[in-house]
Amino acid sequence: MEKPLTAIVIGAGSRGRDAYGSYAVKHSDRIRIVGVAEPIRARREQFAKIHNLPADACYKTWEDILARPKFADAAIITTQDDMHTQPALLAMERGYDVLLEKPMSNKLEECVQLVKKSEETGKHLQICHVLRYTDFYATVYNVIHSGKIGELINIECKENVSYWHFAHSYVRGLWRNSDESSPLILAKCCHDLDLLYWMVGVLPKKINAFGSLSHYRAENAPPDAPKRCLDGCPYAETCIYYAPFLYIDVIPLLRIGADSDVRLIRFFSNLAIHHKRIFKAFSYLIPMLKQVVDWREWPVSVITDDLTYEGKMKALREGPWGRCVYYCDNNQPDHMVTSIEFENGVTASLTVHGHSAFEGRSIRVDGSKGTLIGDFLHSGEVLYFYDKLTGKKEKIYSARLFEHESIGHGGGDWKLMDAFVNLLRKNISNPLTSARASLESHIMAFAAEKSRVEGKVVYMDEYRRNLIE
């Protein structure tokens, strides 16, 4: 049996700890975490406990851990967007292969710099475009390239971000202000742009985008609404953005389960929503239900490291996630449409907005012989093919809620980790999400934001030429 690979993790937040770190816990025969860098002490100590790390393998900063002689095969970097570049560059210089959370950087010139460093050092730089690894999108790609739909004509993608998720991340949360993080089209949609580029298979020729911040603004606040939800808001019982509704009662998450096609999940989710006391009684008999009574996973895990009831309430009274959504320092557009023409004449559109009643992506692919229509939702996934000649509708893929080994991104998080381990073991020459392959989606995102802000079509040949110059 091969020895497991080893890795250090730089950034022990939600992605480093829960998405990729959890894979190493479950698959310790394949990869082990042997070091961590995390500035927040509670997170660092929790991570060290999970992975049984000695004190001398735990560091406060990425500078400290990378100052030590190389002691692992790989570095998994899951810091905030504006902190990706320097640790990734230094890690590659120190001899680490790198798995880097998307986006590569919130500055286009740094994205290019990262690609060049990977090619210069010969070290792998894999970008966490996890959706390429999902069964759903792999099926879409394979059907397109099998010729089943005929000549590819047009693709429509929609990223329907639920109102509560958008408020959590892009109004109250870490990506609320593009000047401090990344523009929405990059932070949320470089996944989708990457999928479009991957599926079409050629470079984009022209990009045009429209969008604005329409709803989450001070002038839309209800009369007499306070700046914080817990400051006696008179709309606490009727406001869908009331912070305890999400972070204490987790009603929006329970509604995902209530929409499941698995009867038992649907039953207990509805019980938790409508009959809390009865559900709590059941939790004493069924231990796995206890985590719902006292939810400590995403998005609650983001707002505080003290996940007691008191800790959560303190975070809502004092932290950014307890603010009224109409009184935040946000500037991200809450709806945006991007139109793309590729060099082979294929057209595509990507819609993203933060007002959906339920979370999920949808896709429609039209070809000369048929049409693919699918939904990639938290509550389940389904993909249909419509044959023009026979008129038949064929279900070619479906998956239920919780069917994948890992929940994150339809199983894509752990399949990405599988691929990264295989890459380092087998030294694959053309990995699926290499830095070079992933760069194009970032170029597309920055071009789309330029188009949206400046109100003009961006011609990609000229845009790339100016980037190189």
- Closest by Cα among 152, 156, 147, 97 to 121: 97
CA dihedral over 187, 191, 196, 197, signed as positive or negative = positive
Q: Where are the domains of the chain?
A: 5-127, 132-216+330-405+433-468, 218-322
Q: Are 66 and 39 in contact (CB under 8 A)?
A: no
CATH of domain 5-127: 3.40.50.720
132-216+330-405+433-468: CATH topology is: Dihydrodipicolinate Reductase; domain 2 (3.30.360)
What is the secondary structure of 447-469 as a DSSP string?
Answer: HHHHHHHHTSPEEHHHHHHHHH-
- For 184-225, list the strands marked E by DSSP: 204-212
The pLDDT of residue 78 is 96
Judge if the upstream peptide bond of residue 244 is cis by omega within 30 degrees of 0.
Answer: no
Residues 167 and 241: their CA atoms lie apart, in Å, by 8
User: Which segments of 76-150 does DSSP mark as H helices, in order?
Assistant: 85-93, 108-121, 135-146
Residues 242 and 322: their CA atoms lie apart, in Å, by 8
Task: Give pLDDT tens digits along the chain (469 positions).
Answer: 689 999 999 999 888 998 899 999 999 999 999 999 999 999 999 999 999 999 999 999 999 999 999 999 999 999 988 999 999 999 999 999 999 999 999 999 999 999 999 999 999 999 999 999 999 999 999 999 999 999 999 999 999 999 999 999 999 999 999 998 999 999 999 999 999 999 999 999 999 999 999 999 999 999 999 999 999 999 999 999 999 999 999 999 999 888 887 888 899 999 999 999 999 998 988 888 888 888 998 999 999 989 999 999 999 999 999 999 999 999 999 999 999 999 999 999 999 999 999 899 999 999 999 999 999 987 789 999 999 999 999 999 998 766 665 566 778 899 999 999 999 988 666 678 888 989 999 999 999 999 999 999 999 999 998 776 5
When computed from its CA atoms, the radius of gyration of the chain, rounded to whole angstroms, is: 23
The pLDDT of residue 402 is 60
Amino acid at 66: L
Q: What count of other Cβ atoms lies within 10 Å of the Cβ of residue 61?
A: 13
Q: Which two tokens stand for residue 44?
A: 């660092």
Q: Which long-range contacts (CB under 8 A, 24 or more apart) does 298-307 make?
A: 298/14, 298/18, 299/165, 299/168, 299/169, 299/246, 299/247, 300/247, 300/250, 301/14, 301/18, 302/13, 302/14, 302/168, 302/173, 302/174, 303/247, 305/40, 305/42, 305/43, 305/46, 306/42
Q: Do domains 5-127 and 132-216+330-405+433-468 have the same CATH topology?
A: no
The pLDDT of residue 366 is 98
The pLDDT of residue 1 is 63
Residues 96 and 72: their CA atoms lie apart, in Å, by 7
